[in-house]
Amino acid sequence: MRVWAKVIKTDITTFSSINIAHAVFGFRQMGAEIVEYENLDQIYGQATKDDLVLDYVFQSQEIFHKFGVTPDLPDYSPVLKPYLGRKNLEGYICQ
């Protein structure tokens, strides 16, 4: 299993988000192989179903789609809605 981590390469190489940096730190402690990449196109043909890809939402959805995985996207339970204190409208991340 490899861990593919999105990076931004300028004068120095940095992970594209603090969440990815924390995840890489944890996987490194577990002894996983960390592979850095800049663009999903660089790894799309190499990533396998056993690998982990650390990227943003839309790129992660592309990897799920590649392997025919439809992740469950849970919402608040209808039982909890009266206690949320606000009106929740149904929407999507891209809106």
- Tell me: the pLDDT tens digits for 32-74? 999 999 999 999 999 999 999 999 989 999 999 999 999 887 7
Half-sphere exposure of 57 (CA within 13 A, CB side): 4
Q: What residue type is assigned to position 66 of the chain?
A: K
- Return mean pLDDT, the chain: 88
CB-based contact 40:55 (threshold 8 Å) = yes
3-state secondary structure of 18: helix
Q: What is the pTM of this model?
A: 0.74
